[in-house]
Amino acid sequence: GKRLLTTVPAALFDAPTRNRELAQGASTTSLLHAYSLTDYEGETYLGSTTADDTGVWSFSLPPAQDPEQVSVLAIDGAGNTSAFSGSLKGGTSATYDVKPDEQGNMTIYVSGINSTVTLPDIADNLGAADADLLIAEPDGEWRLNANLFLEIGVTLDLRATDTVKRLLLRSEASSTAQPSRVAGVTAIDEASFVYIRAYNAEINIDGVDIFSWDQAAQDYDRDPDNGRAYLLAKYDAVMNIRNAEIGYLGSSDGESYGLVWRDVNDDSEPDLLRTRVTGEVVDSEIHHNYYGIYTFQASEMLFRGNKFYSNVRYGFDPHDFSHDFLVEGNEAYDNGAHGFILSRGCNNFTLRNNKAYNNSDPSPSSLAHGFMLDPGSPNSQDPQAPSYDNVLDTNEAYGNEGYGLRVLGSNANLIRNNNFHENEMGISVEESSTENLIVANDFSHNSRYGIFLQETAHKNEARNNNVVGNSDNGIYIRSDENLIQSNIVNTNGKAGIALLIKAGFAAPRENQLISNTVTSNLENGIDLRNATGTKVQGNTVRENLGDGVYMKDGTTQTLLAANCLCLNSGYGIEINGSDTVQNTWSGNQIYGNLRGGIAAGGGATLPPKPALQSLSGNALTGATVAGGTVEIFADNGAQGQYFLGSTVADAAGNFRFVYAGTWPAPNLTAIVIGEQGDASDFSEPLVTGNAATPTSPSPTTTPGTPIPETPTATPTPGSAIYLPFIESSQ
């Protein structure tokens, strides 16, 4: 809404006729700054003066300065700034002028700081010669046939009454092409449509519907190619819209996208950001515009309860350092690009309880996403800038051609409690996007990945998400130093969690997969390929159709610790390739995997597995590599369901382990971790002499391979019996 100012405006009264170069006035504060209004913005700074003890001041104007085009603002001792004063032109009463604009098209100019006007006011002041520029039709319908320009301090009230219900803006077909303000756009005919512009002014729309209108066709202007009517609030302006339907506005030509809020920096201080333009849109329908909503350097705006649909491009597009928006309870659907996008330096937005669905881009080279955060176009004349510190909370995106959410070149955003389903991907975090927090979302039934962290998207966190039923990998990582924690990842079409290099990029490094539940995925539970330094700890990885953890293609320096890798159709752990080295597994529960516990193939080698030699009471002895750390397990078969503890082999490779308690399963196994960090396969199992003889299920075999006969083991009290790799039933 409209800004609240901390001081009252300074007053400006007429200078004596004999001294046209002197402006005089009164103020409740001491320091006054004068501005020329001839550029419609009040940004041409003329200078300052100081009021006397009674508040009276005077200021010498430069040569040729029209004193009717001067405004002042006051600054008090605490640094608070007032609004601009009224100018001598119009004062607080509106004045009207009809003349060509800079393009030579007929325009109604309304001036008078602090004046408020309505459509009937404007029509009543046009005069007979210009009466056809604004026409009142029956039943509250109005047709605007000329541009309407609101100068500084003017407020236009478009509120529903018995006489004002609908405003049609002239917008016609044209065969005349004029150069556009946008490179590559050449078919804009400025004379074929009208606009409403508020420069440092205010527009309030409540209950009035606004559309473009082709009077000859008796239809809305459905063709944006040659330009269409539009509304623009610019500089220190306000545009508020409530309970309205607004459609068929705008084209691709620069500021004329349809509904536009825009500020620009002062040419004299181009690096000082100005974000003064503001307003709100509430309970309205915005449709068939070129962009549904567009802002540029806007601030403190509210968008609530709206529908943005069937727009040529974006449904909702704040741009270039817009900030501090609340966007809640809106729907964006059937648009020709993204439903919601924050682009180039947008920050401190809250997007809450919005829906984006069925958005689709007609271009074969582009995808329309439900939501997007980005740094602006790389093809723009302005440098890219991350969008940051935004919150997306409890939104839903589905049925979009692209992703539920795409995060590109944007940092430190909070993405929580959202439901992104049945898109191409749930979320894609891409190039140079860092420190984003993805927490407590649902990413389900997307046609590719649930979560995708692409190359150079480093140091992001994904926690407590449900990643379910996606057609490819559930979580797919190609970047570094990400934390993937406490997620539920199941029934995805390929791996549950995958780390995989892309050609031309460095291997993903130093990622952490902590305390995730990874179940019933159609390939491996966790798939690491050419990944370096991955920490995999405290995860439950079970009942996947591939391995629990699969490592290949130079994966190295992996730590697998305290995981449950169980009941998978492949191995608990499988490594592949001679370059897959220096990987450690320690303290894991590995059991019930159909192909076996730990395996190496494709030229991969493991340290020699330990030999369990004897068991006397609860004291176990064996032999392995000198100095190796030996971990002891109990299992119903030949894997390691229960981690019992560890010991270190002496210089001769001998080790002894004493267990305090009752063996939790009949078979003992062991692995060794060498001094270089490589871990071995399980040892041959040793049956405890005081445990029941395990029963063996039919082993998993390759089709066509005869099933070997199961041997019978007869325990002798106080002795140990070795069994082959045949597992008992669980």
CB-CB neighbours of 456 under 10 Å: 16
Does the structure show a pLDDT above 80 at 61?
Answer: no
Residue 172 and residue 170: Cα distance in Å, rounded? Answer: 7
The answer to whether the beta carbons of residues 220 and 213 sit under 8 Å apart is yes
pLDDT value for 63:
74
Q: What is the mean pLDDT of residues 243-249?
A: 99
The answer to whether the beta carbons of residues 395 and 356 sit under 8 Å apart is yes
What's the chain's average pLDDT?
Answer: 88
The answer to whether the beta carbons of residues 443 and 472 sit under 8 Å apart is no
Using pLDDT thresholds of 50, 70 and 90, give the confidence band for residue 92.
low
Buried b / exposed e along 313-349 (16+ C-beta atoms within 10 A): bbbbbbbbbbbebebbebbbbbbbbbbbbbbbbbbeb
Residue 278 and residue 612: Cα distance in Å, rounded? Answer: 76
From residue 416, alpha-carbon distances to 352, 394, 548 in Å are 10, 7, 29
The C-alpha R_g of the chain, in whole angstroms, comes to: 36
Q: What is the mean pLDDT of residues 464-480?
A: 98
pLDDT value for 83:
60
The answer to whether the beta carbons of residues 678 and 621 sit under 8 Å apart is no
pLDDT value for 715:
33
The region of weakest confidence among 31-45, 291-305, 482-496, 560-574 is 31-45
Under DSSP, the state recorded for 191 is G
User: Closest Cα partner for 609 from 687, 673, 686?
Assistant: 673
Does the structure show a pLDDT above 90 at 49?
Answer: no
Q: What is the mean pLDDT of residues 432-452?
A: 99
CB-CB neighbours of 423 under 10 Å: 30
Using pLDDT thresholds of 50, 70 and 90, give the confidence band for residue 332.
very high
Does the structure show a pLDDT above 90 at 39?
Answer: no
From residue 479, alpha-carbon distances to 95, 439, 467, 472, 506 in Å are 62, 18, 19, 18, 8
Does the structure show a pLDDT above 60 at 38?
Answer: no
CB-CB neighbours of 569 under 10 Å: 17
Measured in whole angstroms, the distance separating CA 60 from the mean position of its chain's CA atoms is 52
Does the structure show a pLDDT above 50 at 27?
Answer: yes
Amino acid at 519: T
Using pLDDT thresholds of 50, 70 and 90, give the confidence band for residue 705.
very low
Does the structure show a pLDDT above 90 at 2?
Answer: no
Helix (H, G, I), strand (E, B) or coil at 120: helix
Helix (H, G, I), strand (E, B) or coil at 597: strand
How much helix, strand and coil, in percent to the nearest 5, is found in the chain? 5, 40, 55
pLDDT value for 688:
86
pLDDT value for 730:
31
Buried b / exposed e along 530-563 (16+ C-beta atoms within 10 A): bbbbbbbbbbbbbbbebbbbbbbbbbbbbbbeeb
From residue 43, alpha-carbon distances to 27, 70, 236, 607, 696 in Å are 20, 11, 10, 76, 88
Does the structure show a pLDDT above 60 at 106?
Answer: yes
pLDDT value for 693:
42
Using pLDDT thresholds of 50, 70 and 90, give the confidence band for residue 70.
confident
Q: What is the mean pLDDT of residues 124-133?
A: 96
Burial of 415 (0-12, 13-18, 19+ CB in 10 A): buried
Does the structure show a pLDDT above 70 at 489?
Answer: yes
Residue 263 makes CB contacts below 8 A (sequence gap 6+) with 234, 235, 236, 274, 275, 276, 277, 296, 297, 298
Does the structure show a pLDDT above 90 at 241?
Answer: yes
Residue 524 makes CB contacts below 8 A (sequence gap 6+) with 495, 496, 498, 544, 546, 547, 548, 549, 550, 570
Say what the pTM is: 0.85
Percentage of residues in the chain having pLDDT higher than 90: 75
pLDDT value for 690:
52
pLDDT value for 700:
34
Paired tokens of 44: 């041409």
Residue 528 and residue 720: Cα distance in Å, rounded? Answer: 38
pLDDT value for 501:
82
Residue 128 and residue 146: Cα distance in Å, rounded? Answer: 15
Does the structure show a pLDDT above 70 at 728?
Answer: no
Q: What is the mean pLDDT of residues 612-639?
A: 96
pLDDT value for 503:
77
Does the structure show a pLDDT above 50 at 515?
Answer: yes
User: Closest Cα partner for 39 from 151, 116, 115?
Assistant: 151
Q: What is the dihedral of CA 9, 12, 13, 14, to 10 degrees?
A: -160
User: Closest Cα partner for 166 from 120, 208, 137?
Assistant: 208
Under DSSP, the state recorded for 600 is E
Using pLDDT thresholds of 50, 70 and 90, give the confidence band for residue 729.
very low
pLDDT value for 35:
62
The region of weakest confidence among 16-25, 214-223, 582-591 is 16-25
Does the structure show a pLDDT above 50 at 490?
Answer: yes
pLDDT value for 21:
52
Helix (H, G, I), strand (E, B) or coil at 452: strand
